[in-house]
Amino acid sequence: MDAVTPVLDAFHLHASVFERSRFCGHWALTHAGGQHASFHLVSSGRCWLDRMDGEAPLELGPGDLLVMPRDAPHRLGPGQDIGPDREPERRPLDAEGDGPGLVCGYFAFDEGMHNPILDALPDYLVISAGEMRDDRSLQRLVDLLIDESAREAMGGEAMVNHLADALFIGVVRHYLATAEQPVGLLAALADPALHRALAALHSRPAEHWTLDTLARTAAVSRSVLAERFTRTLGVAPMTWLFRWRMQIALRRLRGGEAVASVATTSGYATESGFAKAFARHFGYGPGAARRSDRLNSRRAAPADERSPDHR
């Protein structure tokens, strides 16, 4: 397995498309920033992006994709001189009109915007239609997302949301292939030795890893692995493994798995040792993580699905 798929699974990527309209009339919208990574895809027409950082506005044309991994504040408008906020006249994405067609959405993760993939991406990532022509996989995905967003077909909302999931992965792939100086996790993935080490840790966290065994897997010496790992990812290999185990454990506990089972799959010989490590890392015990998830699920259940005592 590659090193990225387990990260996406552990942090639970779930994208959602909240806008698929043609913006007509005089309009301007400010996005103050929120709790999720976001994107804007221009299906047709043109609009302008103000990054609210003193830089000149950037024109976005048909097929251009803007991604903000940390939902950085920004403004959008129909011209370079973006005026006061004003709601657009929204029409269907494929309707006639002189305004731009926009498909917008969020890339959400269970732990918010704190995960190693988002941390490795720039605040603003623009992939132009021209760049996309050299990335056939991403181009086909964008074309399909635009096509589905313009349709009113059965299961359309589920379709565009799942396509947006795939869009995030396509964006990460594209950035990794084109970035001149990637940082963090993406820089590590560009290093063959670190990629081998991360793929092993992410896919087999329960193994009894040591720096020796990990270095053999990465096909480099212990000193080379430790130096490269720490320089690129900011932590030692065993620290990364500990944090990774805790993230996997949290996900499994929230899914209702027993503490003893999670302890074993997290590489701990005893449940008590795992519980102490978990509490040290998160500030609460594994039992609390399971109870919190059950409580949230119970609150979300319809009244007629709860126990008889609550009817």
Domains, the chain, ordered by start: 5-178 (2.60.120.10), 191-297 (1.10.10.60)
What pLDDT tens digit does each residue of the chain (311 aa) get? Answer: 577 888 888 788 899 999 999 999 999 999 877 678 999 999 999 999 998 888 899 999 999 999 999 888 899 999 988 888 999 999 999 888 889 999 999 998 876 667 888 889 999 999 999 999 899 999 999 999 999 999 888 898 999 999 999 999 999 999 988 988 889 999 998 899 999 999 999 989 999 999 999 999 999 999 999 999 999 999 999 999 999 999 999 989 988 899 999 999 999 999 999 999 999 999 999 988 887 654 343 333 333 333 333 33
Cβ–Cβ < 8 Å for 119, 186 = no
Q: Which of 283, 205, 207 is nearest to 244 (CA)?
A: 205
Question: How confident is the model at residue 195, as a pLDDT?
Answer: 94
pTM as predicted: 0.80
Question: How confident is the model at residue 212, as a pLDDT?
Answer: 97
Q: Which of 9, 3, 5 is nearest to 248 (CA)?
A: 9
Cα-based torsion angle of the residue sequence 267, 273, 277, 280 in order, rounded to the nearest 10 degrees: 170
Burial string for 271-292 (b: 16+ CB within 10 Å, else e) reads beebbebbeeeeeeebeebbee
Q: Rounded to whole angstroms, how far apart are CA atoms 267 and 240? A: 14
Residue 15 in tokens: 């994208």
Burial string for 144-160 (b: 16+ CB within 10 Å, else e) reads ebbebbbeeeeeeeebb
Residue 167 in tokens: 């869009």
Q: Rounded to whole angstroms, how far apart are CA atoms 19 and 13? A: 19
Q: What is the DSSP string of 39-106?
A: EEEEEES-EEEE-SSSSPPEEE-TT-EEEETT---EEEESSSS--S-B--EEEETTS--SSPEEEEEE
